[in-house]
Every structure is written in structure tokens, then in C-alpha cells.
Chain A
């Protein structure tokens, strides 16, 4: 099939940026979206034009590196699918596809479609861990954890940190990302000793990074490639209020 691409090009953080138009002829439906961009880039290089920069690494939907807003939707039209796992059979001959970077104050554009998501790392550094050093851990079966709790903890921990939730939110809120990490530990005994502290510190860090407020639009859940449910946000809000009320302000 033949496609037309409108791609966001931006030379650097201080450049205003603009959409540019490219042809993508002879696209096979079995190509992944990024393979389609590879072919476009190969042609740009051959023509002596600067290739389009975009982030990617694993290309199997787990590293969280790829990050494109495709026709206004983070990771494109297919539910529960990262950009790298999206295949061109989701499009049809003659389509025009707009490709833009994640847009959020806390994710400044580095170049073209590449953004800086280090704010997510700093939120985790603020408290997204159980404070145990290496060594001295008790036998792994010493503490029993019910299957349901373990499964829920996994559902939350499945977050790949891509930032689609932020890109999808009209307020660029990071609540789903933070709530998922809080829920992961909240469902495990290992997470209990620091539960209040963790919640408060991570929420404060999120605010300090310039993410917006959550207004219950639920666009985040729809965009999440791992289908992390918004119910975790409600749980986190309750934990946060409880922690603050108890005077555990991080």
C-alpha cells in the first residue's frame, strides 16, 4: 500500500518544530510500524536527507522505549499494543498518518520524535522500591503470598514506563504510572513497611516534575499498552490521604 506521513521534525529542544510530509510507497501489511519508518529513513539517507529520529530498542513491546503519537493516539490505533508491535495491516492504502512525539511539559522533546522521560526515573528514585540491601534475605517461601495478591501485584508491575498514559492525558498527568508502582508494592507484604512514605514521596515527586493533575478522564487506561487499570489511581488516592492524615508526609 502507499501512504503519506506527516512527521514532527524538531532539530533540538529549542527549535519550534514543524510537521513535514513524506511519501511511504510499497508498504507491506506485515511490516511493523517502526519497520515502515526504517524504510522511510533508508530512503532519506540515500537521498542525503536527515533521517527521522525516534526511540526504540526491544521492538517487542516490553522495554518501553518506543513512543509515538499516531494519528493523535499514543502508540496508535490498536488496543494494548506498543508502537513497535503495531503492524501496518492496521492501516489501508492511501491513508495519511500523523506521527508526533509524546507531548508533556515533563517530557521535553530532545529531537524529532525523541523525548526526555527522565522525570519517570526520578519519581521511582523518590520511593519506588523496598529498602532492602543485597544479602540476608529470608528463604523465599518463608512468607506466603496469596495468588490473588501476587497476581494483582504483577498486573500493576507490568507497567513498562513508556509514558503513553501521560501523552494521552489532556492534563499530562502521570497518575497511572505512579499508581501502578504504588499498587505493585501495596499488594505485597514486602511493600508494607514503607507504604505511606513511598506513596507520599512519589506523589510529591510527580508534582515537582511538572506533571498535571488527574481529572478522571481515563484516557490513560485506554492508551496503556499493558492495560493497567485506573482503579489503582483510586487506591493510591486513598493511601495518600491516609498517609497524610497519619502525619507520614514522606
Chain B
């Protein structure tokens, strides 16, 4: 497996400029001859499709929702980082770079992260020009706030709906290109495979989710912008449709899957309320700016929160991490919540919750100010729990939220599978082992607006793809494999719904490969998952037909892929014998429960190669070197 990251030589601060100069260009008049298939219309896919169309490429864009505006990016709440230093509090490109490398627990590529920090400022300029209504001060300037894991105020936001406003900006740009005929948009269309002809990615196979029609699409490059796979846990903060299908099928056709075990568990979500639960709702971590996290100091204390005096409360984040306190990074805050509950101090149903209390801020700032800052989040909380957070502290618990691992890409966002580019949450590139808050939106838009549109030109200029049509045998074979698989779902005639398998897989993943992992648990999962998969393929029940809208069938396909992917994820977690970022191996911790990283053996990305259905996948490594930010133990004390 070729894992040459193509990082430009020389000082990190000059790498992107130098690289852009070295990239080969495509003559503007020739651009329309290149067809790009963009799968996904979230922040990454939408921005890439619009920008490449503006440049003149011939773009087709696909999404499974009924409109590109509904991609899961829409749900991001808290904000987007940019090194603007508008607050004059000492921020800079270098500081954002430094914070992100350190926050990622030294498992990301310095050059990628530096570039991300550099283009962050352009993103805000671009979005404002599009008319994104960011929060502003009375004087008319843009407002900022600080966000989990950062000590400067560099986060731009639009109330609690930053993702929505950024995505609508991007959707507007995309709509303009659709109107101009430069992008052809295919909604309610699910990509089920990539097509590799003579070693090069030349197209995709899709299913029209309304009619069931299977279609072939040929192009000169394929871009996956299909988001994250955290629904492998079944319960997560992701939308119901988020899946690993596109990435997994590409993996099975040759694309390396990097660090699948790096997942992010978000510390502030509404706890599970019962067995019916279908998804978990995030409460933006911006709440941690004004809310204080605590549990009763005494295990098993059942008194209502208002009757627990301050000296019998344990504000454990403030106690353990005095300099970051309630703003400690996500992995640390999540694990601390789990620990508190494991110690019997949890609150609410099943004692799996901790308090996030606004009492002191309401006293200090007044309810009106708190309402202005967080009103919509408080409303959402009340709607779901039927409790009023102005009067009672919120109950929160960590939940799977984001996937840091993803398909391997080089500095050009090109995977090891020629012709396949991967952007946004679907790739592994910039966040190491832990993502800092407000940096996923930044990365998705950096990839789509400011990186891929340049680097893809270099791909075309240096590869000169041969013309191809969908009659090529590779298309025929891929299509017939898809048809056979759909047929199989329809004819198993078992007794369990795809949903029930998904829930069961999710439980295994959460218990054995969730916030804390250990060898015995992972080995158990590696035994259970293939058994469950076996049962799935003999006992799943899909009703209806494959030739019409059939959401149970869609779900069956996604669950089948999760059942394969989950195994690779556990394998990755098993072989990474260290604790770093979101990956906490119980065997590797200090006496007071802090993570112990192993830089000598694991300062690398683990990249998995698929070897076939009954073969063990092979683990490759891309070493990570740190020339600018010195490898050090993270401390937030």
C-alpha cells in the first residue's frame, strides 16, 4: 500500500504556498472536459462541488436526503474556529496550529494542520460574503466565543445553529451552480460502490431511493464527502442516515482506512431515557462556558440537586484540571464523567448522568443574558426531558459524536486508491486522535472551498485519464454485485429487522470499544461481531421490494456494512497499545487515571488494507513526525 503523504519539504509555514506553486494547473478551457463525481452535499461535498463548478469542472453531486440542504452538517451547533485574532487575545495561525496538534494528542500531520489553520481565516471571509448571519456585536463586528479546549476566543457562531447557517450558505452557492447547469444534483440517491477500472477509480454505482433503479456514473475523479461513521454505535448524536457505506465500499475496493478506532465521544449530550431511544441529542459544548459540571460528592446521594449544598458537590473538572476546568478537551471531560458515574456518583435514570449547572451564571449574569446565549439549547433540552434548565441543572452524559478516523488521504486529499479523493469527516486527515471543538466545520470547508479545488487540478494535469463509458466491464461487474446483494436481502426471509441488528451491534461497540477499552473486551467483541454478522445474513428480514422506496432495505445495506466495519474498528483499537486522545486503553493509564501515550511505538496512523471477506486485514503505518510542536504529554491541569 503506497502511503506517501506527499508533504512538501521545507518549513511548515511555507509548505502550502510552495505546494500551490508546484501544483500543475489545468487550462481553464479544458476544465469542463473533466467530470467530477462528488458524493455528499454536506459542508465538505457542497463546498467542493460548488467551487469546482465555479472553476469550470463538470460536476455531478449525490446525496441520500431529499435535498442537499439536509446533510448532517446542518446539525452542528456551537461554532467554527478561525485564526482571525479579532479579539486581540493573542491568537494566530501558529497558535491554532499548535492547539490543534496538541489537542489531537500528536497523531496528526503537522503540515495538514498548519494549512488548516492558514485557510481558516479565508473561510470566515467567504461565508460572510455569502451572507451567513454570524453573531455580531452592537458595533457591527463579528462576535467570538471560546470553545472546549481553547483559551482564546476564536470561535465564530450563529446562535446555536452554526452548522445550519454555514450549510445554507454552501447550499446557496451549490444551488446557484445547479441553476447555471454546472452541477447536476442527484438527491435521494445512494452510492453503493465505486468502480475501479484498470486500477483507477472511474465511477460509482448508485441506487435511486425513490424508484430503486440502479445506475452507473462514469467520471474522471470521484470525491467522497460522505461524513462520519459514528452510527456504528447505533446511539449517537448523528442523524439516522449517517453511515459508513460509501467509505467502506471504497475501502473494499482498495482505499486504506486510517485509525478507525479514533472516535470522539462528546461530553455534553442528553442521557439515554429508555430502550426506545433512537438517537442522542447533543447539547452544544459552548454551554460549558457558563455551566459548571458537578456530581454529588457522596456516592448514591439521591437528594434533588437543589438540596445538595456546595460543599457536598464535586465540581470534578474544576478540581482535577484547575487551569482548563469546565473547558477541558472533550476526551478528558467525557472520561471524567464516566469515572464519576462508575464511582456511583451518577444522577438521573440508571445513574448515568452528571449535572451541568447554570445556577451561578444566572445569578451572575441574569436569566436574560443566559437566555440570549443559550435560549434555543435550553428550549431543546426542555422539549426532550420535560425539565426546565433555568430552574434545575441539566443532566448530561457523553455520547458518540464524531469520527476522527476515516479513509487515508495524502496532503492533496487523494487516497491511496488512484482517482479517489476524500474530504470532510470521511477522511482521517487533520485531527489526530482527538478533535477540538469547532474544528470539524473548519476542516470540511477548508477541504471543500480551499484545498481540493486546487489539488484536483494537479491530479488531472498529471494523470490524463483515458476516456471511459459506463459500458466498461468494471461497471457491469460492480452493478451485478450490487444487484446480487440487494436480491439477497430480499430473499433471506429471516425474522429480525435490520434495526434490531444495528442496536445489538451498537451495544457491543459501546461497551467494548467506547469511551474506555481493554484487551479482553476487544477480543470478546472480535468474537461476537462475526457471529452477529453471520446471524444477520441468515436471519434479517426485509419486507417489500427493491424496486421502490424501501427504507428497511436501505437500512439493511448500511447495517451490513457496519457489521464488517465494526470488526476492523475493534481490531484497530486492540492493536493500538496506548491511550491517546479519544482512544483510552485501560491498560495504559497513570495511577490517577490519566492517559499514557506511547510515542516510541505508536506515533503513527494505522492504515488498514482490506484483503477479502475471509482474510484478516493488514495494518500499515504512516509515521507522524513532529518538527514544530514538541511531542509532550498533554496536560490541562
Contact = CB atoms under 8 A, between A and B. Distances in A.
A12 B84 CA distance: 52
A146 interface: yes
A95 to B, nearest CB: 18
Nearest to A59: B279
B427 interface: no
A116 interface: yes
A134 B74 contact: no
B274 A134 contact: no
Contact of A157 (B140, B165, B550): B165
Interface residues of B, number: 82
Given A65-B66, A138-B129, A38 B551 contact: no
A184 B161 CA distance: 15
Interface stretch (B170-178, B260-268, B326-334): B170-178
Contacts of A39: 276
A160 B274 CA distance: 28
A87 B133 CA distance: 31
B70 A64 contact: yes
Interface in A1-55: 11-12, 28, 30-32, 34-36, 38-39, 41-42, 44-46, 48-51, 53, 55
A63 B74 contact: yes
A134 B126 contact: yes
A81 B383 contact: yes
A155 B628 CA distance: 44
A128 B549 contact: no
Given A121-B175, A134-B173, A45 B129 contact: no
Contact of A134 (B54, B159, B185, B384): B54
Interface string B72-87: 1011000000001010
A42 B72 CA distance: 25
B131 interface: yes
A49 B499 CA distance: 16
B629 interface: no
Given A63-B65, A117-B67, A144 B172 contact: no
Contacts of B130: 129-130, 132, 190
Interface stretch (B193-201, B418-426, B540-548): B540-548
Given A45-B541, A87-B386, A31 B136 contact: no
B133 A184 contact: yes
B138 A58 contact: no
A143 B134 CA distance: 13
Contacts of A65: 65-66, 70
A132 B132 CA distance: 12
Contacts of A121: 67-69, 175, 178, 185, 187
Nearest to B187: A118
Interface string B527-556: 000000000000001011000111110000
Q: Which residue, B134, B279, B380, B541, has most C-beta atoms of chain A within 10 A?
A: B279
Interface in B535-593: 541, 543-544, 548-552
Interface string B378-396: 0110011010000000000
B138 A147 contact: yes
A187 to B, nearest CB: 8
A111 B140 contact: no
B600 interface: no
Contacts of B633: none
B139 A144 contact: yes
B125 interface: yes
B363 interface: no
Contact of B499 (A42, A53, A81, A139): A42
Contacts of B475: none
Interface string A141-178: 10111110011011001101100000000000000000
Nearest to B76: A62
B165 A42 contact: no
B450 interface: yes
A45 B552 contact: yes
A150 B133 contact: yes
A62 B74 contact: yes
Interface string A88-132: 010000000000000000000011001011101100111011111
A57 interface: yes
Contacts of A63: 65, 70, 72, 74-75, 239
B67 A35 contact: no
A137 interface: yes
Nearest to B278: A35
A130 B175 CA distance: 11
Nearest to A112: B549
Nearest to A116: B66
Contacts of B127: 140
A42 B454 CA distance: 48
B389 to A, nearest CB: 16
Interface in B23-57: 47, 50-51, 54
A76 interface: no
B131 A87 contact: no
Nearest to B77: A62
B458 to A, nearest CB: 17
B210 interface: yes
Interface centre among B135, B240, B495 (most CB of A within 10 A): B240
A249 interface: no
Nearest to B86: A141
B273 A60 contact: no
Interface string B359-379: 000000000000000000001
Given A134-B54, A150-B135, A154-B165, A190 B128 contact: yes
A140 B175 CA distance: 23
A144 B124 CA distance: 14
Nearest to B84: A140
Contact of A46 (B277, B450, B497): B497
A185 interface: yes
Interface string B489-513: 0000001010110000000000000
Contacts of B135: 150
Nearest to B158: A154
A133 B182 CA distance: 13
B131 A110 contact: no
A197 interface: no
Contact of A190 (B131, B239, B379): B131
Contacts of A120: 67
Nearest 9 pairs of A and B residues by beta carbon? A144-B140, A129-B172, A137-B129, A137-B125, A125-B179, A154-B133, A140-B128, A153-B133, A57-B239
Given A34-B278, A59-B239, A135-B126, 5 more contacts: A46-B497, A53-B551, A58-B74, A78-B383, A150-B136
11 contacts: A28-B276, A60-B279, A118-B187, A121-B67, A130-B172, A134-B51, A134-B126, A147-B138, A150-B136, A161-B69, A191-B131
Interface of A: 11-12, 28, 30-32, 34-36, 38-39, 41-42, 44-46, 48-51, 53, 55-65, 78, 80-81, 85, 87, 89, 110-111, 114, 116-118, 120-121, 124-126, 128-135, 137-141, 143-147, 150-151, 153-154, 157-158, 160-161, 184-185, 188, 190-191
